Amino acid sequence: MTLPANAAQPRSASRPTPWKPVLLRAAVGLVFGLVTAFWSNPSGEGLAWAMGLYLLATAGAVWMFRTLPVFVPVVIALGGIGALVTRSDAGVALSAVVALLVLGASELTRGVRKRDDVARDWLISGVVSVGTAVALPFFISMGAHALLGVAGGGAIICGVLWILSGLTLRHEAKTSSGPSAPGSSAEAVN
């Protein structure tokens, strides 16, 4: 059965709002950042597990967002697997560098090319991701704690950015979903 052309369709069918994957990405970054901030003496194996799981979770969140090319979450996931497999400070750092460079470059490209609701957020997150990737190799000799500190700092910055963006998108989706219900306070004021 087909609906008439003027039949009202739910907002999610016409234009999905990406606030859920944005908030998921924010949560991943904030959880990783908080873990790194309060972990006083991580081992090399702890570094590998934390970085690997962070990159895998980030790949999942980017995949759910469905705005970046498919190869981006694949490369990030491979970086996470690489971090879990290598388990050396240099190997984990190299895996994270590749994953974050691809993510950051893709976000920068998306922010420049597409002028949508989150274009500025893409640009900022891209700069932070590329900056984190560029900084990581300089901290390899300082050990797991330093590497987690640098990666966690970038994750916290991106997490705060994406949580503000996600909450804004959620609010805009709620306010633009349609007219207020009869008898609501908005109707009473008018």
Q: Who contacts 61 (Cβ-Cβ below 8 Å, separation ≥6)?
A: 21, 24, 25, 28
**Residues constituting the chain:** 190
Cα(29)–Cα(174) distance, rounded to whole angstroms?
25
Mean pLDDT (the chain, rounded): 88
* For range 164-186, the mean pLDDT: 73
Q: Supply the pLDDT for residue 175.
A: 86
CATH topology (fold) of 18-174? 1.25.40
Q: Supply the pLDDT for residue 174.
A: 86
pLDDT above 80 for 86:
yes
pLDDT above 90 for 123:
yes
Q: Supply the pLDDT for residue 17.
A: 52
27-36, 134-143, 172-181: segment of lowest average pLDDT: 172-181
Q: Which of 136, 160, 137, 162 is nearest to 149 (CA)?
A: 136
What pTM did the predictor assign? 0.84
Domain boundaries of the chain, sorted by first residue: 18-174
Higher pLDDT, 142 or 66: 142
Binned at pLDDT 50, 70 and 90, residue 190 comes out as very low
2-6, 85-89, 125-129: segment of lowest average pLDDT: 2-6
Q: Supply the pLDDT for residue 52.
A: 98
Residue corresponding to tokens 């909450």: 167
